[in-house]
Amino acid sequence: MSGWKFVFSRRWAGYLALTIVFAVVCSGLGTWQLNRRAEALAEIAKVDANFDSTPVPVNEALPQLDSFDESQKWLQVELKGTYLIDDELLVRNRPLNINPGFEVLTPLLLDDGTVFVVNRGWLPTGEAQDAPDVVPAAPSGPVTVVVRLKAGEPTLAGRSASGNQIATINLDDIAGRVDKPTYTGAYGLMVTEDPAPAERPVAVTRPVRDEGPHLSYAFQWYVFALMGFIGLGWAVRQEYRTINALDPEEQDRAAERARKKAAKPKSDADVEDELLGNHR
């Protein structure tokens, strides 16, 4: 079989199909990376818009107990009420800078009789027990608290806790424990308390403004998809040269390639190979 007829064989049709599948998979991974980048940019936009926003009353930001939109993440709201210290909870398995610890949730009874869950910050695991050594006391009496909104968490299968410890910040579960009308759309990461206690748990820091390497990864996957077709073309060309090796025109082209290769300046690697060969 001379010329290009071999390209239409079943074998090369299979190679083409494999190359197309490879390209589709690479393109899909590239698109996935672009979607990941879009999600990261959306998170950055929320931080830029809300993290340092002017606090608004909670009932203005969340008109219903189950109100919350993801665009409100990190939005600062102001709360006024009294902490339900006896209902304070510790959230397990909350690492900070690879250190194990807990987050302290203290429900706040607002002046209108509703309850808002305040995350007062992080504490390390104790030296001798699976709990913090000391939990800084929340202020007693009326308090004004500024928090940043965050969505509640789902219940995770296989995660368990007992006593005043919980596995996730599931607001419906916490509402059942408090047994009062409770905001279940969002909870708040504490920014400030007034009056401020002498000590408080470690506050949440501003998220790093980093979109990650998703754009470069996406570009790499698209390049891989293109390289699959380039590799297929190279393989077709090589087989053509092999099949048509006795064709006079192909022999002329092969001689021209050999001439150009011989005229090409030798690289350092070529010189080293020749020297090593002469000493064997």
pLDDT band of 275, cuts 50, 70, 90: low
Rounded-to-integer distance, Cα 240 and Cα 235, Å:
9
At residue 151, what is the residue type? Answer: A
pLDDT tens by residue, 8-27: 888 889 999 999 999 999 99
Interior/surface letters 168-177, b for 16+ CB within 10 angstroms, e for the rest = bbbbebbbee
Tokens of 237: 């060309």
Q: What is the pLDDT of residue 273?
A: 64
pLDDT at 214: 95
Flag whether pLDDT at 252 surpasses 90: no
* CA 205 to centroid of chain Cα atoms: 18
CA distance 52 to 76: 7
| Res. 175 pLDDT band, cuts 50 70 90 | very high
Give the pLDDT score at 68.
96
φ, ψ for residue 204 (rounded to 5)?
Answer: -70, 135
Q: Is the pLDDT of residue 249 over 80?
A: no
> Contact, 169 vs 51, CB < 8 A?
no
Spell out the residues 6+ positions from residue 133 whose beta carbon is closer than 8 angstroms to its own. 124, 126, 127
Q: What's the CA gap between 54 and 191, in Å, rounded?
A: 12
Integer Cα distance of 110 and 81 in angstroms: 4
Tens-place pLDDT, residues 210-222 = 899 999 999 999 9
20 vs 64: CA distance, rounded Å: 52
Closest CA to 105 of 52, 20, 174: 174
pLDDT for residue 266: 65
Which whole-number Å values give the CA distances from 102 to 52, 117, 119, 126, 191, in the listed order? 25, 16, 11, 10, 18
Burial (0-12, 13-18, 19+ Cβ within 10 Å), 190:
buried
Give the whole-angstrom CA distance, residue 116 versus residue 185.
10
Q: Is 189 helix (H, G, I), strand (E, B) or coil?
A: strand
pLDDT (average), residues 228-243: 88
Report the pLDDT value the prediction gives residue 217, as an integer from 0 to 100.
95
Please provide the average confidence, as pLDDT, over all residues in the chain: 89
Complete DSSP assignment for 96-160:
BTTB-EEEEEEEEEETTS-EEEEEEEEEEPPSSSSS-S--PPPPPSEEEEEEEEEE-----TT--
| pLDDT for position 215 | 95
Least confident among 27-31, 141-145, 262-266:
262-266
pLDDT digits (tens, 9 = 90+) for 31-59: 999 999 999 999 999 999 999 999 999 99
Q: How far apart are CA 70 and CA 74, in angstroms?
A: 9
What pTM value is reported for the model? 0.76
- When pLDDT is cut at 50, 70 and 90, the band that residue 277 belongs to is low
What's residue 241's pLDDT?
80
pLDDT surpasses 80 at 256: no
Note the pLDDT of residue 255: 74
β strands within the chain, DSSP E: 56-57, 76-83, 89-91, 101-110, 115-124, 142-151, 165-166, 186-194
Our CA angle for 34, 40, 43, nearest 5°, is 145
**What digits encode the pLDDT tens for the residues 116-125?**
999 999 999 9
